[in-house]
Amino acid sequence: MAQISTDWQAAKEFLEAGNVVGIPTETVYGLAGNALNPDAVLTIFRVKNRPSFDPLIVHTDSLEKLDQFVTSVPESARKLADMFWPGPLTLLLPKRDLISDLVTSGLSRVAVRIPNHTLTLTLLRSLDFPLAAPSANPFGYISPTTAQHVADQLGDQVPYILDGGSAGIGLESTIVGFEANQAIIYRLGGMALEQIEQVIGPVSVRTHSTSNPKAPGMLSSHYAPRKPLLLLAPGESPEPNARAGALVFRQPFGGINADYQRTLSPTGDLNEAAKNLFAHLRTLDSLPIDIIYAEPLPNQGLGWAINDRLRRASAQE
């Protein structure tokens, strides 16, 4: 099993030796490797069983370093970076040759971000290379929000997990790219749509792809538990079922065993709901039930991203 510790210097040694490690961020835990080392990048794909056509996100610690990896930064992208980095925002920008086609799945743009986690920022500042780091889970499964989640899923394949506590946001970063000067959201996430539009004006949303995605995290079926998940319509309640579980926003359903239900936020706090989403799905997946019913959330703030994850978790391959 992987060693779990708060020692970032140990993580640095593993990474410099070409290994992959689990790292904390404010969004979810990542499976990190040297983004400039093809063998390390290939190990990320192998450990996750991730298809090679699904690109990775590159993590760094400063805007100054960004120029090493990208050829240009549109004005709108610079405004977003100035406002929200470090934070749960990923920018899709034209890459330099230093970033291999393996990282970007052959695409001409690279996804980059600065994570808002003290321990991981300290680690990134100590390294001479950026880190490629998708979520630290088997491909398509629920994303991890604690070090133990990583160990439970990948522990025999990852030598070291840097323990930074529970993820503060609990949803992956929002991915924004630019086409013909138009900002496009490719993945809804921990940075709310409304926050982005307050800085750069209206944006388009283009979040799903069945194959050959233009950005990480766009596949239609993703973030899924092993148990079937059925996403209900707004206001819909499930039929009574002794073998069902439920993921609800504020109040449990009638007709479903209370022990088999998890509430995202009794007070209706969308930020709390986002933080609890993956952990509650993981718990429901471990219960002796045959199906998970999920209640949609209001389409506002982080509710957009939570509903996006629930739709994809309910999609059939």
| Contacts of 252 by beta carbon, 8 Å cutoff, 6+ apart | 246, 258, 261, 263
Taken in order 53, 93, 140, 61, the sign of the CA dihedral is: positive
Taken in order 143, 157, 54, 93, the sign of the CA dihedral is: positive
Q: Is residue 133 marked as binding?
A: yes
Cβ atoms of residues 278 and 143 within 8 Å = yes
Q: Is residue 90 marked as binding?
A: no
Antiparallel, parallel or unpaired: β 131-132 and 30-34: antiparallel
Give the type of residue at 102: L
Q: Is residue 173 marked as binding?
A: yes
Q: Is residue 223 marked as binding?
A: yes
Cβ atoms of residues 88 and 174 within 8 Å = yes
Q: Is residue 192 marked as binding?
A: no
Q: Is residue 160 marked as binding?
A: no
Q: Which residues are annotated as a binding site for ATP?
A: 50, 59, 135, 143, 187, 223
Q: Which residues are annotated as a binding site for L-threonine?
A: 27, 113, 133, 173
Q: Which residues are annotated as a binding site?
A: 27, 50, 59, 113, 133, 135, 143, 173, 187, 223
